[in-house]
Amino acid sequence: MVSTTLTDARVRALKPRKSARDIRDGKLKGFGVRVLPSGRKRFFLHCQHGGERIWRIVGDAAEMDANEARARATAMLAVIRNEGPLPASPEDTVFEAVAEATFRRHERIWKPRTLKVNRGYLRKQILPRFAGRQIAEIARQDVVHWFASLRATPVAADRSMPVLSVIMREAERMGFREEGSNPCRGIRRYRRKGRERFLSDAEIRSLAACLDASEGARPLGVAAIRLLMLTGCRKSEILTLRWTDCREGALFLRDSKTGPRTVWLSCAAERVLDGIARTSPWVFPAARGDGPRSAPWLDALWFGVREEADLGDVRLHDLRHSYASFGLRRGESVTVIARLLGHLSATTTLKYTHPADAMAADAAATVGAILGG
């Protein structure tokens, strides 16, 4: 976090960014100014008392100068130390203020992509209903009505609910709600039909033939799709590969959804990598600039390939599903498949066992025929 001696000139010079940021004062510990995306600036005091974190608004930077705000913060700090925490002002406890404080705290916990996605749910699904309300006044019935209003978009509803729940838990931690009062607790999510899609053997053959035919015109994209098929990796893991990650017959992923992990390569996967020219630190370098290829580039290629292969609405992520189900059909255990996919728990892998049901039925029929004589 940036620290500097706050003066009127420095406060005026601070420019807004896409997200709020705090600049700490170098003279008074815990005192600083928060710059909001709107351009508004507010002086604040952040300290600890009795093992509890305390965050209070000192005043608006448009209404007081830096010296006045620092003096007021010093007085507030003295009161806190001598008499305990000051009651929070309504501006501190309005829903969006607590939500912003929650997201700032979770910047160190959530991955950047998770943070971005959750901010999207906050902006689109949550704030339109709860912005401007005191967080302590939001009751369970309010959350029930909000959740019901999202029934037309069940996926967004189900993914927004945990975000709201985290904000409510943070409000409890900050002392703005009673302990155990989370109004999101116990609300049942929408039941949605599973989206898992597994390619049949015939579809895999059709896809392979289509990739062979497309390789001359689109070699890099075809290589990316083949690696997805042969490793079970996520799209982001393949697109952000560096050549230094590929060694000793494995991919050493620096980061993934579940953290760093090793992906062991088959001979077929190694041949795909051997066929890619090393013109950049990235395995799949962008056409312009120094970064890797983007997901839209690969998605656009995939839409054309799947149409040619007559695969309907199959997604790139379904190649990961198919990789897992194919391993299960060939006798690999759920534990082994979980490790191949980078799942933290084998329970997550169980949803890929559905294609093995037909195998179980065939086996039952075979055993029954033999034992039945």
pTM of the model: 0.50
Cα–Cα distance for residue pair 121/217, rounded to 1 Å: 39
Residue 371: exposed, middle, or buried by beta-carbon count in 10 A (0-12, 13-18, 19+)? exposed
pLDDT at site 281: 93
Question: Which positions ≥6 away from 151 have C-beta within 8 Å?
Answer: 157, 190
pLDDT digits (tens, 9 = 90+) for 266-289: 888 899 999 999 989 999 999 888
Cα–Cα distance for residue pair 319/336, rounded to 1 Å: 18
pLDDT at site 360: 46
Cα–Cα distance for residue pair 188/261, rounded to 1 Å: 33
Residues of the chain below pLDDT 70:
1-3, 19-20, 51-53, 83-92, 175, 178-179, 192-196, 255-259, 323-373
pLDDT digits (tens, 9 = 90+) for 312-368: 888 888 877 776 666 656 555 556 555 555 555 545 555 555 554 554 444 455 445
pLDDT at site 42: 84
Q: Are 337 and 352 in contact (CB under 8 A)?
A: yes
pLDDT at site 113: 79
pLDDT at site 324: 67
pLDDT at site 195: 57
Q: Are 56 and 44 in contact (CB under 8 A)?
A: yes
Give 205-220 as a DSSP string.
HHHHHHHHHHTTT-HH
Which residues is 33 bridged to in the sheet? 23, 43
